[in-house]
Structure 1
Amino acid sequence: MAMPMRPLIVGTDGSDQALRAVDWATDEASARGLPLRIVHASKWSRYDSPAPSLTRKRPAGGTVEAEHVVASAAERARARAPRVEVTTEVSPEGAARALVEESDGAAAVVVGSRGLGSVAGTLLGSVSLAVAARARCPVVVVRGELPGEPRSQGRIVVGLGKPGASPAVPQFAFEEAEVHGGSVDVVHAWMLPHAAGRAPGTEAAPEWEERQKQALAGLSDAVAPAAADHPDVPHEELAVEGPPKHILNEAAHGARLLVVGAPARTGVAGLPLGPVTHAALHYAPCPVAVVPSV
């Protein structure tokens, strides 16, 4: 008997950002041949805060409105991709908890960068941040340009850190590129203590040349398994001196997706994301995929 396909989960609260996430998830489900599951946690997004609890329940009521939110999102998804199997769920839990629970066994979870309840002045909604940090599968935060807009041509940018990083990160990037007929830019940013008067990228320094050579060698080793598994995906390996969060966000301009890593999910609430991943989620010019280590 064939095993059921893992669904693609998308969270929605009816906001414009959430509907952009529904569009992204619908296109992704269509490209991958996956079922789409649209999840709403009633009116919880209105109580969004910088540090949402994963245990508090939503306020009572709002059932009719909640059903309308998911029904409207499902209608939008079916009109956009009629062949995608779409189901809906209204959860009695808080949004972060509901989506984290849905992530168990999912292909990925997709969320918008902000929702109805985002605190004024924040760049990333707290629910999106909590899900990215705690989900048990890759999480895509839809921000910046959407695929299909003029500058998004299928290029995937993946950031790799220190040697020995999880192979799940480049594997996800190469798989995504293969699905969409795109290419992969594999980027590693490194830094040396700068001598007085020497700007980053000064190639005359022997120390710089040696460090650049080491960075490129490590990058090739890290990407080799994913490249071998997806031989038809063109890719470029780039080692660049500079602050990683700035280098990655600059490389992501015009990309379809920026892929970054996260610590392995151990079931411990509050497991922090690294500073580079945090910066990507807040400032990247395109959607960001956060892939947990395995």
Structure 2
Amino acid sequence: MAMERETDLPIVVGVDGSEPSLRAVDWAADEAALRGVPLRLVYASLWERYEGAQLAEDLGKPSEQVRAEDIVATAAQRARLRRAEVSIATDVLPEEPEYTLLRESRIASLLVTGTRGRGALTEALLGSVSLTVAAHAHCPVIVVRGSHDNQSLPATHGRIVVGVGGGARTTDGAEEKPTSAAAVRFAFEEARRRGAEVEAVRAWRCPAHETTDHPLLTGEPARLHEQRAAEALETALRDAPADVVLHRRTAEGHARTVLADASRHADLLVVGARRRQRHFGLQLGRVTHGALHRSSCPVAIVPESG
């Protein structure tokens, strides 16, 4: 039997009945329509063990009446009302939610989750399932942020922001090729689908311990760091397609802060996460972790090799 092409793989959404997961369904339905792929809604019945006991209260039912079938049926109906042209499948699995979604990520083009937060305060915090999935999935993961009601925000900015990270230093102090190749490709592909522009951002900082007494930094330490950031950005974007409007920007500051600020005027924030040997799956660094918790728009976490 022929292998399924990547473009035919479904978008998988983890649902649990909460408002954040229903916003994730909205976002995923729109994306499935853009890509022309099926939508798969998955409920893992042990989810409440990790995410709290408020699910029944959220749905306005006694806990004994909250059934997995009701949850996925409600999510499917919502997706059909939003995007009638999308093919929708559902599944209820009596498994650990992390295990279920990580397995699903092997046969998905995208894996979409909500933040699992409740209210203006807890919305800033990711649930343990969403954070684990973002760290270890085998396909790009979208964590839907940026709205505090039960509706997914429409794409209104026409802009996708991608964070361009730096590579490791060589022995002579030069920076190797930035480690954001997959994230940059993903951002351009999404921009094409949406007719959006791309803003590629590279943050830089001048460490406090680097003074003008340093032989390589005499007189202009900040300027040298900014120049290195600009060079890293150009390296990452050297294969940028000509059919997408591209804005390049370097900014001084912590990358997680710079990207969070940029997300205020974006429809999607894209960051890469590296696979590391001797670790299981993706390890979220401080930048990616900060983006997931502070972004004003949905965040795409794209696996990077190397």
- Are 2:116 and 2:126, in contact at CA under 8 Å, matched by a contact in 1? yes
Q: Does 1:162 align with 2:173?
A: no
- Alignment map for 1:175-214 (pairs within 5 Å): 175-194=189-208, 206-214=220-228
TM-score, structure 2 as length reference = 0.80
Equivalent of 1:13 in 16, 19, 26? 16
- Are 1:134 and 1:270, in contact at CA under 8 Å, matched by a contact in 2? yes
Per-residue CA distance 1:235-259 (angstroms, 9 max, x = gap):
1111111111111101111210111
Counterpart for residue 138 of structure 1: 140
Equivalent of 2:232 in 197, 218, 224? 218
Report the 3-state secondary structure (helix = DSSP H, G, I; strand = E; otherwise coil) of the residue aligned with 2:138: coil
Q: In 2, distance between residues paired with 1:240 and 1:109?
A: 30
Gaps of 5+ in 2: 53-62, 168-176, 213-218
- Are 1:36 and 1:85, in contact at CA under 8 Å, matched by a contact in 2? yes
Instruction: Flag as ranges the 4+ runs of structure 1 deviating above 6 A.
Output: 61-64
Counterpart for residue 74 of structure 1: 76
Q: In 1, distance between residues paired with 2:153 and 2:276?
A: 29
What amino acid maps onto 1:12 in structure 2? V
Per-residue CA distance 1:197-235 (angstroms, 9 max, x = gap):
x9xxxxxx633223222211210111222x13xx21101
Equivalent of 2:131 in 126, 129, 132? 129
Equivalent of 1:30 in 30, 33, 45? 33
Counterpart for residue 247 of structure 2: 236
In the superposition, relative to structure 1, how do residues 221 and 269 fare at CA in structure 2: closer, same or farther (>3 Å)?
closer
In the superposition, relative to structure 1, how do residues 8 and 74 fare at CA in structure 2: closer, same or farther (>3 Å)?
same
- Are 1:147 and 1:153, in contact at CA under 8 Å, matched by a contact in 2? no
Counterpart for residue 154 of structure 2: 148
- Are 1:18 and 1:115, in contact at CA under 8 Å, matched by a contact in 2? no
What amino acid maps onto 1:262 in structure 2? A
Q: In 2, distance between residues paired with 1:15 and 1:253?
A: 24
Counterpart for residue 172 of structure 2: none
Gaps of 5+ in 1: 51-60, 199-204
Report the 3-state secondary structure (helix = DSSP H, G, I; strand = E; otherwise coil) of the residue aligned with 1:82: coil
In the superposition, relative to structure 1, how do residues 3 and 41 fare at CA in structure 2: closer, same or farther (>3 Å)?
closer
Per-residue CA distance 1:135-165 (angstroms, 9 max, x = gap):
100000001144416xx32211111111320
Percentage identity across aligned positions?
Answer: 45
In the superposition, relative to structure 1, how do residues 121 and 215 fare at CA in structure 2: closer, same or farther (>3 Å)?
closer
TM-score, structure 1 as length reference = 0.84
Q: In 2, distance between residues paired with 1:83 and 1:121?
A: 31
Q: Does 1:114 align with 2:116?
A: yes
What amino acid maps onto 2:190 in structure 1? E
In the superposition, relative to structure 1, how do residues 79 and 289 fare at CA in structure 2: closer, same or farther (>3 Å)?
same
Counterpart for residue 53 of structure 1: none
Q: Aligned pairs, how many? A: 270
Per-residue CA distance 1:137-196 (angstroms, 9 max, x = gap):
0000001144416xx322111111113204111001111111011011101111112489
Report the 3-state secondary structure (helix = DSSP H, G, I; strand = E; otherwise coil) of the residue aligned with 2:199: strand
